[in-house]
Amino acid sequence: MFYTSTRDNSIKLTASEAVLKGLSDDGGLFVPSEIPSLDISLDKLGDMTYQETAYEVMKGFLSDYTEEELKNCINNAYDSKFDTEEIAPLVEAEGEYYLELFHGKTIAFKDMALSILPHLLITAAKKNNSDKEIVILTATSGDTGKAALAGFAGVEGTRIIVFYPKHGVSKVQELQMVTQKESNTKVIGVLGNFDDCQSKVKELFADEELKALMNEKGFQFSSANSINIGRLVPQVAYYVYAYGKLVKEGRIKAGDKVNFCVPTGNFGNILAAYFAKNMGLPVNKLICASNDNKVLFDFFKTGEYDKNRDFILTKSPSMDILISSNLERLIYLSTGRDDEKNKSLMADLKEKGKYCISDDMKAFMTDFVGAYASEEECAAKIKSLYEDTGYVIDTHTAVAAAAYDKYSKECNDDTVAVIASTASPFKFLKSVMTAIDSKNEKCDDFELIDVLSKTANVDVPQAIEDIRSASIVHDTVCEISEMKKLVMATMGL
């Protein structure tokens, strides 16, 4: 298995080289030369632990990691830092299955990949005889930041710099980041939106002058965003695990198809489900659920990707994205791996803010269905699901749940559905509790912690307990134009 860039087919890297590099020098994303097949029968998946499933999924993608190396990374990642033994539980509510991906250290789905990425990176550095200090440079729409900070905090040979939109995350999300104590961490609020942060970070990765200076001083950039293939590959595992659980519990028979509905912003999470399907998992449709920033919904409907629209701040801030970076991997595959065609489309996006795909490319994407739910529909879904079942979901999961209701009704699709539940409702306390009862709108987030615990009949997660009294460590705020200067200052360059 080797990895090539979506913008240059002449590039061929091993998996560990691609993980270590993060983003290609040409601005492209690394894609595997092929999608490996699952070499275990579907009826045996249900008898496997999460760790065993992860190994079976990841070994084909990360083929230059030895069995011992990869198993060591997996066992170090998926351990007692998760508050459930099964790592990713499935919960049935109103006939659908919610795949709870928020039982890690920072109570969001990013933990599923960012718990293992530091181990993959450090192993990759040793394999490739890299003596440089790894600098993780990442942009976050809210959850990646804290999960990356938690993964890399205190890890020898690494530093991490996180940029987040100062006014574009929830109070809990911000506090989780700015209270990070370890000396190898730096968190910076940006006076802009997530797309601004992400675009600038990509610019810094491509900055030859900065790279030369970093190299001279013994530093090397890498990424914790889902643009890093080491972030994407671990996410494939939980879709395969969910399927095995459904088989084991008798919800489906081995070979039956399922639908996956995923709340989608940067497109990495749903792309992982697509990779799972291409490994041989029986999947009917991948429902790409959008909030009011419905650039992906419009794309799958029309074949035109157009970011020239108002950026809307919603109650599901991790999805407030107009440039879905991981979509480039699907675009590249849909061209028949034509790097020049993909490069041309990405140039159109940068210069004109939009591009159109061909009919053949659109036909390639028939596994995907765009769906959409408004703020009002999401709030109504949180309320009705709680009132009918007692189950409480967060605002991002509500986007998927409400969008799936509309999809299944419109398409008359009764396929067994798995909804990716991407964050704990405790991360979005006020929005969740206000949806359940409007009187909660007058309360402060922290006043609602114990109210939500009682309402949902679940314990307050440790991640929330930790920030109740934590001190602010990171208070830097900057303009977009100042991001490079701050990176250099942080590195002492």
| 23 secondary structure, DSSP code | S
| 441 secondary structure, DSSP code | G
- Burial of 171 from C-beta contacts in 10 A (0-12 / 13-18 / 19+): middle
Q: CB–CB of 326/267 below 8 Å?
A: yes
257 as an active site residue: the answer is no
Residue type at 421 in one-letter notation: S
* Distance spanning both ends of the chain, measured CA to CA: 37
Which two three-digit tokens encode residue 43? 């009826």
Q: Where are the alpha helices (DSSP H) in 288-412?
A: 295-302, 327-334, 339-352, 359-364, 375-389, 395-411
Q: Angle 260-263-268 (CA atoms, 0-180°, nearest 5)? A: 85
Which CA distances in Å does 353 have to 199, 205, 225, 490?
13, 21, 22, 32
Element (H, E) at 371: strand 368-372
In sequence order, what are the residues at sequence separation of 6 or more whose Cβ sits closer than 8 angstroms to the Cβ of residue 311? 193, 195, 293, 320, 322
Which CA distances in Å does 466 have to 112, 173, 320, 419, 448?
20, 12, 26, 29, 15
- Burial of 480 from C-beta contacts in 10 A (0-12 / 13-18 / 19+): middle
Which CA distances in Å does 133 have to 153, 170, 219, 485?
14, 32, 5, 19
Q: Which residue has the tokens 């969740």?
A: 432
| Cα distance between residue 452 and residue 153, in whole Å | 29
Catalytic residue, candidates 59, 110, 186, 294: 110
Helix (H, G, I), strand (E, B) or coil at 286: strand
Q: How many helices (H) and strands (E) are present in the chain, helices listed first?
A: 21, 16
Nearest to 7 by CA among 190, 250, 287, 202: 202
Cα-to-chain-centroid distance, residue 116: 13
Q: Which residues are catalytic?
A: 110
